[in-house]
Structure 1
Amino acid sequence: MKYLVLLLLILSLPIFLFKLGDSSLVSWDEGWFASIARNVIKSGEITKLYWNGLQFVDHPPFGFWLMASSFKLFGANEFSARLPSALAGVASLAVIYLLGKELFNSRVGLFSMVGLISSPWFIFRARSGNLDIFLVLLFILSFYFALKYLKDKKYGVFLGVSLAFLFLTKTLIGFTAVPVILYLFWKEKKLTFSYLVTPFLIGLIPFTIWFLIQAVTYDGFISRFFFIGAPGITVSTSFRENLQLFKDYLHNGIGRWFWPGVLSVAVIPFLKQKKAYILPLFFICFSLPFLFSNKGHIWHLLPLHPILIISALGCAYMFLEKFTKSKIVSFLAIFLATMFLSYPQIRQNWYNFIDIPAFVSDEAILSREAGKFPYKFYIDDDFDPVAAFYSDKIVEQIQDADLTSVFAKNESFVLITYEWRLEQAKIKPSEYRIVKTDRDKILLVREKN
């Protein structure tokens, strides 16, 4: 089986790496996070993050450390910005195999790898410079190490390190793993200080240090952090609308695995495979906040994708084992079901996200050119992160009414705007020089002696 797993990992590499750096970074998150990661290198700070000249506290630093390390090795470019997510995607395949094997058997683990490869939004975000795939990897890795820890205490350190990185990845969401792990300890009658101290001490100390540093150095950090970590959560909301939004996002994100996964999550509590109870428990713990908020997005639900896939395949195997004692029959049945659900999506993913023409945006082209000038940099639209990354400058976005006031200032500057905006504001051509045009945007410079 290990050779099949290795072969599948090798065959999956083009899905994650082919044409990875061919297209420009996009706003918001890709350009935003890439700029922050580059500032980690420039500032030498690993506990405080900066973007566009200001301290950034919306997310902890682990994902940015990975991206900064990639920049150190390969330079600050599109490929290296996306590489950590892509490698985390490959690692997630290996870990979903281990978790599926631990909860059910190696065949469930193997076919779960195929299922995860077919998840449209998992592949899309794994080829993007974001934090979401790190979360997916660290959630399932933490659950795997928790299961191993119950058998061998040496895994307590591994669980602690995995939890530390999970808590340091993205706001509060990593803490939804805690009830699941505590349940595992309780079920095995190991909810004791001696079992809790090693993993949770290692897991919480780095996050606590980071949290305290931000609280001391950034006014209003605590309210900001909880606002970002639990956006829009309130009891005065439409639970029905939120549930429908949650269902639509999860269904569109995982595709054909949605109904098999959701039905299996509902069935698992009635099965004898008690270790697998962590799957519906995590589904509930992770999903509950979305019932109280309409601010969720489709990528926020990515950590549920491996849970649904393992649940579907694990349930299918358990039912097949009741009706047939032939391992060959059950293997072939699950293989055919997995291919039926996965192949159309893998094919679609290839043409939607991977084998697509290279695209260099006008925002990237003009911002890179703007970075050559030692002047203040203005943009006349909402693409601050891309402008900041490609220019390596502090960027100021102007509002509709401010174009005239910018030209009224006695300063030199570069500006990305639109020709019709200049005409509308009645800015004379003698007041600026056009440096470059691309599609509907222009880069101009106004130089004051």
Structure 2
Amino acid sequence: MAEKIKLALVLLLAATLGFFRISRVPPALNWDEAAIGWNAKTIWEMHLDEFGTRWPISFRSFGDYKAPLYIYLTAPVVGIFGSNEISVRLVSAMAGVTGVGLMYFIGGFAAAVLLAISPWHILLSRPALEANLALMWILAGIYLFKLAVEKRPVFLIGSAVSFVLSMYSYQSPKIFVPVFVSGLVVIYRKNFQR
């Protein structure tokens, strides 16, 4: 029971820091957030991005070719609640809280508290940043890999799916994740050679 209370407290802390006055801090949408919101709106209403591409796997936007997952997850939120700061930032804030919960299961209470109060994590969770969603998927992949090593190898499927989703959330994981997963495979190969 004490573990559930600790988890609830750290999630409450993360949610408070992530959601409190989210429409005002940061004070306005930056151009990336505006582009995410606009593309989410056009995907929801017309199934097209701002350039008329149907269901793109990469959003051209300002020529930076945004990864698609954040926009696709934001589309129903913008469609239901309208185009506003909260709608555009909600996915990132939820990913931030979820990431803290995953950190609790990976590294324990202290690790989760440190992530929840980390200025870096708070600043990453409040605006609509795809990197925050990617971090959540990477943490999910690590947690499921940990379960596969400790309990049942079937969790490797969920781990692989999570790592792939991180690559569709942001561009950097396309380089980082294959190297990281290769390291996990090399380090833990004996655990799966049964």
The TM-score, its normalising length taken from structure 2, stands at: 0.82
Q: Deviations over 1:19-63 (max 9, x none)?
A: 1123653332221222222222133143356567x8x66122011
CA distance in 1, matches of 2:42, 2:64: 14
* Structure 2 residue matching 1:188: 3-state secondary structure: helix
2:85 aligned with 1:86, yes or no?
Answer: no
Gaps of 5+ in 2: 48-53
Please identify which structure carries the higher strand content. Answer: 1
Query: What does residue 32 of structure 1 align with?
Result: 35
Matched letter for residue 65 of structure 1? Y
Is contact 1:46-1:65 (8 Å) kept?
A: no
Q: How does 1:352-391 map to 2 (within 5 A)?
A: none
Give yes or no for contact 2:22–2:126 (8 Å, CA) kept in 1: yes
For the residue of structure 2 that corresponds to 1:58, the secondary structure is coil
How big is each residue's C-alpha offset from its partner over 1:295-352, in whole Å with a ceiling of 9 and x where there is no partner?
xxxxxxxxxxxxxxxxxxxxxxxxxxxxxxxxxxxxxxxxxxxxxxxxxxxxxxxxxx
Aligned length: 184
2:50 aligns with none
Deviation at residue 147 of structure 1 after TM alignment: 2.2
The equivalent residue for 2:18 is 16
Cα deviation, 1:280-302, whole Å, max 9, x if unaligned, reads xxxxxxxxxxxxxxxxxxxxxxx
Q: Which residue of 2 aligns with 1:171?
A: 171
- Unpaired runs of 5+ residues, structure 1, are 101-108, 196-449
Q: Residue in 2 aligned with 1:117?
A: 116
CA 1:21/1:190 → structure 2, altered by over 3 Å: closer, same or farther?
A: same
Shift of 1:92: 0.7
Distance 1:92 1:63 in 2: 15
Cα distance in 1 for residues equivalent to 2:64 and 2:81: 26
Which letter does structure 1 place at the counterpart of 2:103?
I
Cα distance in structure 2, aligned partners of 1:21 and 1:188? 44
In structure 2, C-alpha distance between the alignment counterparts of 1:30 and 1:84, rounded to whole Å = 12
- Report 1:8-407 matches (<5 A): 8-22=10-24, 25-44=28-47, 45-48=54-57, 58-100=65-107, 109-151=108-150, 152-190=152-190
**Residue 170 to residue 191, structure 1, CA distance change in 2 (3 Å):** farther
Structure number, greater radius of gyration? 1
RMSD: 2.6
Kept in 2, the 8 Å contact 1:131–1:170? The answer is yes
Q: In the alignment, which residue of structure 2 is the partner of 1:225? A: none
Question: Deviation at 1:125?
Answer: 2.1
Q: Per the alignment, in what secondary structure is the counterpart of residue 153 of structure 1?
A: coil
Q: Deviations over 1:251-304 (max 9, x none)?
A: xxxxxxxxxxxxxxxxxxxxxxxxxxxxxxxxxxxxxxxxxxxxxxxxxxxxxx
TM-score, reference length from structure 1? 0.38
Given the superposition, is the C-alpha separation of residues 97 and 66 from structure 1 closer, same or farther in structure 2, using an over 3 Å criterion?
A: same
Residue aligning to 1:293: none
Identity %: 21
Q: Which moved more, 1:37-46 or 1:155-164?
A: 37-46
CA contact (8 A) 2:89 2:126 kept: yes
Matches of 2:148 and 2:191, distance apart in 1: 12
CA pair 57-12 structure 1, distance change in 2 beyond 3 A: closer
